Chains A and B, each alone.
Chain A
Amino acid sequence: MITTKRESNSKINRRDFLKTSAAASGGLVIGFHFVTGNKVANAQEPPKPNVAPNAFLRIARDGSVTVQVKHLEFGQGVTTSLPMLVAEELGCDWTKVRAELAPAAPAYAHTMFGMQMTGGSSSVLNSWEQMRMVGAAARTMLVTAAATKWKVAPDKCRVENGVVIGPANQRANFGDLADAANKLTPPEKIALKEAKDFRIIGKSTKRIDAPAKVNGSAMFGLDVTAKQVPNLHVALVKRSPVFGGKVKSFNADKVKGISGVTHVVQTANGVAVVAKNFWAAKVGRDALEIIWDFDGVAKPDSAELRKAYLDIAKTPGAVAKAGNVESLKTAAKTVTAEFELPYLAHAPMEPLNCTVNVSANGCEIWVGTQFQTVDQGAAAQVLGMKPEQVKINTMLAGGGFGRRANPTSDYIREAVEIAKGARVPVKTMWTREDDIKGGFYRPMVAHRVVAGLDSAGKISAWDHTIVGQSILAGTPFAPMMVKNGVDATSVEGVSDTPYDIPNMQATLHTQQGGVPVLWWRSVGHTHTAFAMESMMDDLAKAAGQDPVEFRRAYLGKHPRVLKVLNTVAEKANWGKALPKGRALGVAVHESFGSVCGQVAEVSVEGGQIKVHRVVAAIDCGLAVNPLTIAAQVEGAIAFGLTAALYGKVTFKDGMVEQSNFNDYPILRMTEMPKIEVHIIPGGVSPTGVGEPGTPPIAPAVANAIFALTGKRLRALPFNADDLKVA
C-alpha cells in the first residue's frame, strides 16, 4: 500500500535502543526503544506509551520464547518470519518459539514510517535489523548469565538450540538462565551474524500459526464473543446507499419490537441496530426505515465516468515525469492505446468488524487492523479521551489487502460511536453486502499512452497520461506523498519504470469524486503494470520483435529486472512450441523494492479465458522464508487474476451495482492455474513480498490472449464478448 523508495535497512541508533525490564511473570524481557534514522513519514505524532514494558521478546522459565509481532498477521506470514529473524540470532529451539500480536504502542512503530502500521510489503524488511538485534541482545545476556554462573569468560561459551554450553561442556537451558539474564544491562555493541552463517533465515519454515488455523481455535477479530467480553452486543449499520448521503430521518418503530434488539443508535454515516446477537441485529436492520438526504451529494455513474476519464486523458495533466514528446510527430510508427480499470473492493474473507468496550476511564478495542496507532488516535478523538486511554488488542485478520489500513479509521470510528451511544460493549459487524458496497475501493483509472517507434523499431518517445482519484490527498500522508499535484501512488510503476525509454513523459489528472478510495494490494501498480506491460507487448509487435527480446533492450541499466525476465522466460520455455490453442504471455514489473516476472499460458474457448499455468520468478532480495514467499506469489497471482477476470465495482445513479460474491466473484479452485515460483537467490537484505506478485498477472494474461487471438484487451476485467468478435 504505502509506497515509496526506501533503503533496505533502517538506521538504528544502537546505543539507544535496548532496555530491559522485568516481566511480572519473571524471565527475560527485551524491550526496544529506537531512534528512527531515516524516518520517511511523520504522519502522526506517536501517542504516549500506554503499554509497559514495550517488550519484543519474552523468554520464560520453561524455555518458551515469545515474540511480540508488531505487524498485523493477515496471511502474509509475519508471525513466522519475524520470529525467524529473532531466533536466528538468539539460537533458541525453534519448536519453543511462539508469536503474539503486539497491541497499539509507540514501541511497535514501523522503523521507516515512524508509526505502527502494516503495509507496503515492508514488514520483514523494516524488521530485518531490529528483530535480529533483539535476538542477538538476548543471546548475549543469556551467555553472560551462564558465564558468570560458571565463572568463565563469555566468549568461551556458545549457544545451541536453546542451551548455553560452557568450555567444560557445562550446559544451561535458556529458561533456567532467564531470570539472571534479566538483571543484566543490555549489551552496547551487538554483532549480527553474517549471511553465510544463517541457519534459520533462508530455510523454508512452516507457519507458526497453522495449527490454530486448522482446528478453529485461531482468534480473528470477528471471533470475540461474550466469552471474552461479558455482555457483548452485536451491531449492524444501515449506511447511505450513495456515498456522502446523510440521515434525514429514520423510523425504528418496527425494529424495537424485535426480540433481541436492544438499541438503535444514529451514527455519522447511518443508523446502527444493536442487539444481543447477529441475527436479531440483522432482522432489526432489515426492518429499519431511513429517509436519506442526498442534497449536494455526487451520484457517480460508471458509464459517464469512463467517458469523462477517456476524454480528459487526451490532454496532459500534472507532470509526474518530464520528457520531450515532440518527436512523436515524426516517429516512423506510433501506437496509441487507452486502458481502463474499474473500482475494486478488497473483499477480504473476514468482513470488517470491530469490538469496543467503553468504560468511564478508558476504552478497549479488539480489531484486526493494519493501522493500530492511527485507529487508537481516532477512537480517542471520538470519545474525547487521550490515546493512551484506548487499548487496542490486535486480532488476527482474515485478509485485508489494504482495507484495514484506512487513514480515516472509518470502521473503528463508527464502532466506537455505536458503543459510546449504546453504553454497552458492542461488536460492530459488516455483512458481505456492506463490504462490497461500503467503499474505500481501488480507484477507477484510465491510461492513455502514445508511443513512437523509429525506423529501427526502437522506442523514440512515450507520452503517458493517467486519470484517477488520489488515494492520499486529504490524508496525513499527503504532505509526504503528494507533490506538485501528483500522488506518487497514482503514477508509481510508470514514472519510475525501470525501462530505459527515451523522451518519456508521464502526467496525471487527479479526479475529484464522492467515491472513497484506498490502497488495494499493490496500490498504483495494480493499474500501471497493466498499462506498461500491455504497451511494451504492443510495441514489440509493432516493431516485429519477440516480446521478451524487445524488453531486454530497455533493461541494460536494471540487471535485476533483466535477470527476472530471463529467468521466467527460460523456466517457462519461452519460444518453444505449445499445444494448439495455447499461447504464452509475459510481464515483468518492479514494485515494493522487488521484481516479479510472470509467464501465463492461456487458452480461449468459446470466449472463455482459461489460465492453465503461470511461471513466476521473483527477486525479493534476501529470501527469509522461501515457503512463505512462494505462497505469497501464488496468492498474489490469484488476487490479480480475480481482478483481471471478474473484478469490478460499478455505479448507477450513485449506487454500487454489486453486492456479494454472486456479482463480485472471486477466483475458485477450478480456475486456479498451476503455478511455479522461482526465487532468485542472493541479495543482502529482504525487499517486499506480499504485493509484487499481483501486478504482472493481468498484463501477462492479456499478452497471452493477444498472442493467441490477435485481440488486444485493454480494459479490465476482460470482456469475453470482445473475444467472440475476434
Chain B
Amino acid sequence: MIRFTVNGEHLETNVPPETPLLWFLRDNLSLTGTKFGCGIALCGACTVHVDGVPMRSCSTPVSSLNGKKVTTIEEIGRTPVGKAVQAAWIAEDVVQCGYCQSGQIMSATALLAKNKSPSDSEIDAAMSGNICRCGTYNRVRAAIKTAAALPRLRLKPKHRGRK
C-alpha cells in the first residue's frame, strides 16, 4: 500500500507502483483538471505540487509519493497564492483553448509562493517547461505580474478526513 494525500484527502492505494500520478489522479480519482500532454515531462500540462514543489505528474510514479502531499488544480484556488493567480488569469484574459492552463497555473503558483515579485528571467525559468500551443505566453507573463501585485487573501483551509 502506498499512502499519501491528494488535496488534503488521505489515500492509500495498491495500484501498480509504477503507475504515473497523472493517471492515478485522472482514472482513479476522476480529478481531470490535471492534463495529459506528452507523457514524458516535456510540456508541463500535467503539473501538480508535491509537498509544494511543481512536479510533472506524468513522470511521477505513485510509488514515490509515500507520505507526501499532492495538490492539484482543483484545490489550488484554496491557497492565497493560487486564488490570486486564478484571479489574475481571468483579469488578463489569458486562456484560449485552456488545456495547458492547469499546468501553467500550477507552475506560476509554485513560483509566486516562493518569490513574491519574480523578474522576467525568473518567470522564464519557472515557466519554460510549460508549452502552450495557443501561444498565450505573453498573457501568462502579464498575469503572473498581476498576481504578484494582488493582495493575498487568507483563506480557510478545507479539511477532509475521509480515508
Please give the residue numbers on chain A whose beta carbons come within 8 Å of chain B beta carbons, in ascending order: 73-77, 206-207, 209-220, 222-223, 225-227, 234, 259, 276-279, 347-351, 396-399, 401, 429, 431-433, 627, 631-632, 634-639, 660-662, 666-670, 672, 674-675
Contacts and interface: CB of A to CB of B under 8 A. Distances in A.
A215 B93 contact: no
Nearest 6 CB-CB pairs, A to B?
Answer: A216-B33, A638-B135, A398-B99, A213-B98, A75-B97, A75-B96
A227 B30 contact: yes
B96 A349 contact: no
Q: Is the interface of A mostly helix, strand, loop or mixed?
A: loop
10 contacts: A210-B93, A214-B86, A225-B27, A278-B36, A279-B15, A279-B16, A635-B96, A660-B39, A661-B131, A669-B137
Contacts of B4: none
Interface string B46-81: 000000000000000000000000001110110000
A431 B40 CA distance: 11
Contacts of B97: 73-75, 348-350, 396-399
B90 interface: yes
Contacts of A207: 93, 95
Nearest to B126: A669
A206 B90 contact: yes
Contacts of B102: 216
B73 A661 contact: no
A235 to B, nearest CB: 13
A437 B86 CA distance: 35
Contacts of B43: 349, 432, 661, 666
Nearest to A640: B135
Given A225-B30, A674-B138, A631 B96 contact: yes
Contacts of B94: 210, 214
Interface string B91-108: 001111111111001000
A631 B93 contact: yes
Contacts of B99: 220, 348-350, 398-399
B139 interface: yes
Given A349-B35, A635-B136, A639-B133, A206 B98 contact: no
B124 A214 contact: no
B37 A432 contact: yes
Contacts of B93: 206-207, 210, 627, 631
Contact of B27 (A277, A631, A634, A670): A277
B42 interface: yes
Nearest to B129: A668
Nearest to B102: A216
Contacts of A669: 123-124, 127-128, 130, 132, 137, 140-141
A662 B131 CA distance: 12
Contact of B98 (A234, A396, A627, A674): A396
Interface string B109-137: 00000000000000110011011111111
Contact of B89 (A214, A433, A635): A214
A210 B89 contact: yes
A74 B97 CA distance: 5
A223 B32 contact: yes
A293 to B, nearest CB: 29
Q: Count chain B CB atoms within 10 A of each CB in A226, A348, A627, A668 and give the residue with the most.
A: A668
Contacts of A349: 35, 37, 43, 45, 97, 99-100, 131-134
Q: Count chain A CB atoms within 10 A of each CB in B127, B137, B139, B140 and give the residue with the most.
A: B137
Contact of A210 (B34, B90, B123): B90
Contact of A431 (B27, B39, B74): B39
B38 A672 contact: no
Nearest to B135: A638
Q: Count chain A CB atoms within 10 A of each CB in B26, B37, B90 and give the residue with the most.
A: B37
B28 A277 contact: yes
B28 to A, nearest CB: 7
A216 B135 contact: no
A122 B160 CA distance: 48
Contacts of B26: 223, 225, 278
A417 B124 CA distance: 45
A433 B77 CA distance: 33
B40 to A, nearest CB: 6
Given A214-B94, A220-B32, A396-B97, 4 more contacts: A213-B98, A349-B134, A397-B97, A429-B36
A279 B133 CA distance: 25
Contacts of A76: 96
A279 B27 contact: yes
A215 B73 contact: yes
A638 B32 contact: no
B19 interface: yes
A633 to B, nearest CB: 10
A273 to B, nearest CB: 15
B140 A279 contact: no
A262 to B, nearest CB: 14
B40 A213 contact: no
Nearest to A668: B128
Given A213-B98, A279-B19, A396-B98, A222 B36 contact: yes
Contacts of A674: 138
B33 A215 contact: yes
B6 to A, nearest CB: 13
A280 B129 CA distance: 27
A222 B96 contact: no
A635 B98 CA distance: 13
A660 B40 contact: yes
Contact of A670 (B76, B101, B128): B128
A9 to B, nearest CB: 27
Contacts of A217: 33, 74
B77 A215 contact: yes
Q: Count chain A CB atoms within 10 A of each CB in B26, B40, B98, B137 and give the residue with the most.
A: B98
Nearest to A212: B98
A225 B130 CA distance: 25
A234 B32 contact: no
Contact of B34 (A73, A216, A234, A429): A216
A214 B128 contact: no
Nearest to A429: B36
Nearest to A80: B93
A77 B133 CA distance: 15
B137 A278 contact: no
Contacts of A206: 90, 93
A222 B32 contact: yes
Contacts of B32: 216, 219-220, 222-223, 225
Given A214-B101, A637-B135, A668-B131, A209 B95 contact: yes
